[in-house]
């Protein structure tokens, strides 16, 4: 960028004052710069640039003069090169005398300079034939950045070499900029930030210090890009980059006393898109990384004014700390990225520290999602059926279809785990349809076999329920399978109904018009009251397992369960108690005159064949007494 206008720095190292003077005359001669101009002009003409460009280049080249620096010994030379690097004013070329008694020689100097500056062009000058290029080249790699000059030399040689080598050096620097810096924001890019992280990690290891990696991702940048166009998006990224950069630089003033270490400027890079990485070397404590993260976040809270728009894009930030969260660059970057992902999920515009559980959980979550996508096609789903008993008569009143998923990589996964993933990804629509279709088919089959069985219960996700076309989907499946609507009961949870009561009312009415029944699942876990539920024409409440399991121990739950049963009776709503696991619980339900019960005590969910067997047994025992029937069915 502005680099073109800065002078090219050349270091001359020779112990003889006369030689240094000779260099001075040659390098400060106006001609060198003029020759550079001539060379550029010739090149421009050869490649047919327009005259404006040539004029601009000419003035740029005039500004790009040579700035020679002189010293008389090897040690001073190394020191000067080091200073140049730290001030970001590196030398392009170093002319080194081979022999500088009594100090170290040119080869020593070249080796040390090369360690400090891998890019500088080194020229070794000698009056003797004692410099064996083959040998020195091996000591001071790379060979293409090492040249030789035999004394006495002609001014032309020095001049030509200076021009040729500095222009090669500039070209290489430009390539490096392109390879290691983001052209939009001028920040280091992913490659460069990784290199810096590797270097910082080595330093942290050597000095037994800690460091942190912050992964930033803008929360709503994509929307800006999509709605306002890429040009605005690019501008916004530049503003964001500048704010983050200055917030890191000037953070010291605004940070609370005692966190001075955290205020030490960090290194910021753009990883691509709307992702940035901040490296905090020399961290005093892991907690300091969190305050830096908050500072970065608040630096972006102030709206950005672009054209007619006032935009706010806050980042979600993930933090990984060396050594506890990883000992190498890849692990730290990956873990910071994961933590960012968690922060964004939990609450955008906040920061989160990585912890080991995130790793296992997140990876597992990704795998579940990945595998779930192909599960229908691979025919990995199956239904099991859990009987619901009428405890007053001892007959099977219904069967609840419960989805099972067995995957080659993950094994059997519980619906409590994969249903939320299916809901988040929208896969629940196709999966739910599959469930309803297969449950209705099975119910129709049992009906055709004349087995005693009143209804099939099918769970419906809130996502399905929220679709306007859901009732027609149900109607179509009923028609396709030929199951009479009165044999189908859909289970929706309380929270789904309460999320949008107006919508729920409408959807429930539409479904009821098909002639099917509706049950509220897991009742008691949400916040609905009987008063509000009464407005919905539901047919059944299923008392959540958590109440049933404690009716024999907890007086409150006992009272709640009893109240639900009694009030349902007065509202003429049916009740099913879920999760009945032992006889005392069953006795309690009978005492309260609860109609239906479902639970492991009576039967676990069964594969279709076993469920058919159970229905047959129930059929055969239809003439027995209630207790005898229950005994036969339970087996």
Q: Identify what 461 binds: Mg ion, ligand C2E, none; CB under 5 to 8 Å per kind.
A: ligand C2E
554: burial class by Cβ within 10 Å (0-12, 13-18, 19+)?
A: middle
Q: Which of 415, 482, 515, 584 binds ligand C2E (CB under 6 A)?
A: 415
Q: Which of 491, 494, 557, 596 binds Mg ion (CB under 5 A)?
A: 491
Q: Identify what 557 binds: ligand C2E, Mg ion, none; CB under 5 to 8 Å per kind.
A: none
How far does CA 444 lie from the centroid of its chain? Answer: 47
Using the minimum distance from each CB to Mg ion, give the nearer residue, 225 or 517. Answer: 517
Using the minimum distance from each CB to ligand C2E, give the nearer residue, 100 or 543. Answer: 543
Using the minimum distance from each CB to ligand C2E, give the nearer residue, 386 or 395. Answer: 386
Instruction: Rule CB under 6 A: say whether 459 interacts with ligand C2E.
Output: yes
Quote the least distance from Cβ 400 to Mg ion, whole Å: 6
Q: Which of residues 501-560 bind ligand C2E (CB under 6 A)?
A: 521-522, 545
**Is-cis flag, bond preceding 375, omega within 30?**
no
Using the minimum distance from each CB to ligand C2E, give the nearer residue, 332 or 548. Answer: 548
Instruction: Rule CB under 5 A: say whether 494 interacts with Mg ion.
Output: no
Instruction: Rule CB under 6 A: say whether 599 interacts with ligand C2E.
Output: yes
Q: Identify what 5 binds: ligand C2E, Mg ion, none; CB under 5 to 8 Å per kind.
A: none
Q: Which of 587, 600, 607, 613 binds ligand C2E (CB under 6 A)?
A: 600
Q: Identify what 435 binds: ligand C2E, Mg ion, none; CB under 5 to 8 Å per kind.
A: ligand C2E
Instruction: Rule CB under 5 A: say whether 522 interacts with Mg ion.
Output: yes
Quote the least distance from Cβ 488 to ligand C2E, whole Å: 13
Instruction: Rule CB under 5 A: say whether 521 interacts with Mg ion.
Output: yes
Could you tell me the CA-to-CA distances from 158 to 71, 76, 122, 123 in Å, in that order?
Answer: 17, 22, 13, 10
Q: Which of residues 468-487 bind ligand C2E (CB under 6 A)?
A: none
Three-state SS string across 191-236, please? HHHHHHHHHHHHHHHHCCCEEEEEEEEECCHHHHHHHHCHHHHHHH
DSSP, res 119: S
CB 504 within 8 A of CB 477: no
Q: Which of 414, 509, 537, 625 binds ligand C2E (CB under 6 A)?
A: 414
Binding mask 375-404 for ligand C2E (x = CB under 6 A): -----------x---------------xx-
Q: Identify what 414 binds: ligand C2E, Mg ion, none; CB under 5 to 8 Å per kind.
A: ligand C2E
Using the minimum distance from each CB to ligand C2E, give the nearer residue, 341 or 418. Answer: 418
Q: Which of 110, 214, 218, 419 binds ligand C2E (CB under 6 A)?
A: 419
Using the minimum distance from each CB to ligand C2E, give the nearer residue, 321 or 435. Answer: 435
Say how far apart CA 75 and CA 113 lie, in whole Å: 10
Quote the least distance from Cβ 293 to Mg ion, whole Å: 41
Using the minimum distance from each CB to Mg ion, give the nearer residue, 351 or 455. Answer: 455
How, if at all, do strands 395-407 and 411-413 pair? Answer: antiparallel
Q: Which of residues 134-173 bind ligand C2E (CB under 6 A)?
A: none
**Helices and strands: H and E segment counts in the chain:** 26, 22
Quote the least distance from Cβ 504 to ligand C2E, whole Å: 16
Q: Which of 372, 435, 564, 606 binds ligand C2E (CB under 6 A)?
A: 435
Say how far apart CA 477 and CA 466 lie, in whole Å: 18
Say how far apart CA 117 and CA 108 lie, in whole Å: 14
Using the minimum distance from each CB to Mg ion, give the nearer residue, 26 or 431. Answer: 431
Radius of gyration of the chain (CA): 39
CB 463 within 8 A of CB 426: yes
Region of 352-360, 390-398, 412-420, 441-449 interacting with ligand C2E (CB under 6 A): 412-420
Say how far apart CA 619 and CA 395 lie, in whole Å: 9
Q: What angle do CA 259, 264, 269 make, to 5 degrees?
A: 125
Region of 87-95, 124-132, 154-162, 597-605 interacting with ligand C2E (CB under 6 A): 597-605
Could you tell me the CA-to-CA distances from 602 to 204, 361, 396, 531, 606 in Å, in that order?
Answer: 63, 35, 10, 32, 12
CB 603 within 8 A of CB 634: yes
Instruction: Rule CB under 6 A: say whether 416 interacts with ligand C2E.
Output: yes
- Which ranges of 318-427 does DSSP label H, i.e. alpha helix? 329-346, 356-375, 415-425
Q: Identify what 539 binds: ligand C2E, Mg ion, none; CB under 5 to 8 Å per kind.
A: none
Quote the least distance from Cβ 611 to ligand C2E, whole Å: 13
Q: Which of 119, 581, 612, 616 binds ligand C2E (CB under 6 A)?
A: 581
493: burial class by Cβ within 10 Å (0-12, 13-18, 19+)?
A: buried
| Neighbour-count burial for 128-154, b at 16+ CB within 10 Å, e otherwise | eeebeeeebbeebeeeebbbebeeebe
CB 380 within 8 A of CB 359: no
Binding mask 576-595 for Mg ion (x = CB under 5 A): --x-----------------
Quote the least distance from Cβ 428 to ligand C2E, whole Å: 6
Quote the least distance from Cβ 581 to Mg ion, whole Å: 14
How big is the site for ligand C2E, counted in residues (CB under 6 A)? 24
How far does CA 373 lie from the centroid of its chain? Answer: 20
DSSP, res 7: P
Query: How many other C-beta atoms lie within 10 A of the C-beta of residue 285?
Result: 13
Using the minimum distance from each CB to ligand C2E, give the nearer residue, 294 or 581. Answer: 581
Say how far apart CA 100 and CA 152 lie, in whole Å: 16
Instruction: Summarize as ranges the residues that interact with ligand C2E (CB under 6 A).
Output: 386, 402-403, 414-416, 419, 432, 435, 459-461, 491, 521-522, 545, 578-581, 598-600, 605
Instruction: Summarize as ranges the residues that interact with Mg ion (CB under 5 A).
Output: 459, 491, 521-522, 578
């Amino acid at each position: 960028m502005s680099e073109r206008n800065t002078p090219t720095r050349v270091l001359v190292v020779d112990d003889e004052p006369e030689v240094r003077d000779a260099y001075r005359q040659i390098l400060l001669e106006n001609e060198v710069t003029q020759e550079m101009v001539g060379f550029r002009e010739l090149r421009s003409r050869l490649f047919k640039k327009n005259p404006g460009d040539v004029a601009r280049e000419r003035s740029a080249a005039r500004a790009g003069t040579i700035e020679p620096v002189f010293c008389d010994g090897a040690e001073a030379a190394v020191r000067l090169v080091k200073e140049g690097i730290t001030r970001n004013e590196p030398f392009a070329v170093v002319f080194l005398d081979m022999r500088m008694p009594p100090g170290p020689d040119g080869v020593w100097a070249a080796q040390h300079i090369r360690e400090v500056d891998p890019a500088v062009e080194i020229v070794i000058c000698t009056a003797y034939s004692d410099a064996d290029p083959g040998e020195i080249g091996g000591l001071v790699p790379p060979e293409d950045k090492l040249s030789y000059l035999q004394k006495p030399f002609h001014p032309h040689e020095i001049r030509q070499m200076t021009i040729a080598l500095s222009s090669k050096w500039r070209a290489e620097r430009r390539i490096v900029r392109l390879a290691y810096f983001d052209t939009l924001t001028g920040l280091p890019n992913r490659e460069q930030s990784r290199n810096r992280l590797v270097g910082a990690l080595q330093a942290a290891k050597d000095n037994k210090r800690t460091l942190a990696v912050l992964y930033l991702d803008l929360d709503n940048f994509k929307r800006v890009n999509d709605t306002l166009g890429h040009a605005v998006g690019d501008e916004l990224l530049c503003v964001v980059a500048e704010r983050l950069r200055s917030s890191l630089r000037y953070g010291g003033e605004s940070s609370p006393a005692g966190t001075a270490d955290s205020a030490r400027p960090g290194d910021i890079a753009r990883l691509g898109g709307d992702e940035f990485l901040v490296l905090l070397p020399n961290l005093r404590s892991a907690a300091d990384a969190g305050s830096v993260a908050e500072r970065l976040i608040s630096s972006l809270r102030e709206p950005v004014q672009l054209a007619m728009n006032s935009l706010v894009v806050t980042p979600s930030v993930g933090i990984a700390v060396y050594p506890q969260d990883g000992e190498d660059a890849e692990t730290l970057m990956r873990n910071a990225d994961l933590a960012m992902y968690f922060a964004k999920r939990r609450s955008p515009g906040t920061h989160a520290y990585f912890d080991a559980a995130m790793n296992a959980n997140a990876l597992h979550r990704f795998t579940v999602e990945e595998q779930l996508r192909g599960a229908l096609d691979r025919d990995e789903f199956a239904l099991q059926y859990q009987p619901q008993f009428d405890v007053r008569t001892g007959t099977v009143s219904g069967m609840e279809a419960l989805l099972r998923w067995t995957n080659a990589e993950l094994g059997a996964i519980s619906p409590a785990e994969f249903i939320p993933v299916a809901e988040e990804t929208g896969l629940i629509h196709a999966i739910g349809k599959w469930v309803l279709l297969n449950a209705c088919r099975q119910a129709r089959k049992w009906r055709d076999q004349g087995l005693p069985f009143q209804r099939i219960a099918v769970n419906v996700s809130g996502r399905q329920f929220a679709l306007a076309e859901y009732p027609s989907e149900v109607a179509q499946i009923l028609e396709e399978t030929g199951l009479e609507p009165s044999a189908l009961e859909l289970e929706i949870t309380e929270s789904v109904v309460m999320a949008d009561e107006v919508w729920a009312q409408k959807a429930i009415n539409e479904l009821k018009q098909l002639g099917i029944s509706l049950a509220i699942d897991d009742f008691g876990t949400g916040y609905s009251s009987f008063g509000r539920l009464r407005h919905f024409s539901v047919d059944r409440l299923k008392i959540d397992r958590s109440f049933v399991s404690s009716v024999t121990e907890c007086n409150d739950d006992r009272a709640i369960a009893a109240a639900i049963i009694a009030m349902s009776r007065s509202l003429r709503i049916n009740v099913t108690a879920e999760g009945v696991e032992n006889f005392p619980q069953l006795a309690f339900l009978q005492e309260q005159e609860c109609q239906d019960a479902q639970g492991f005590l009576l039967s676990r969910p069964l594969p279709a064949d076993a469920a058919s067997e159970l229905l047959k047994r129930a059929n055969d025992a239809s003439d027995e007494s209630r207790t005898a029937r229950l005994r036969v069915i339970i087996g």
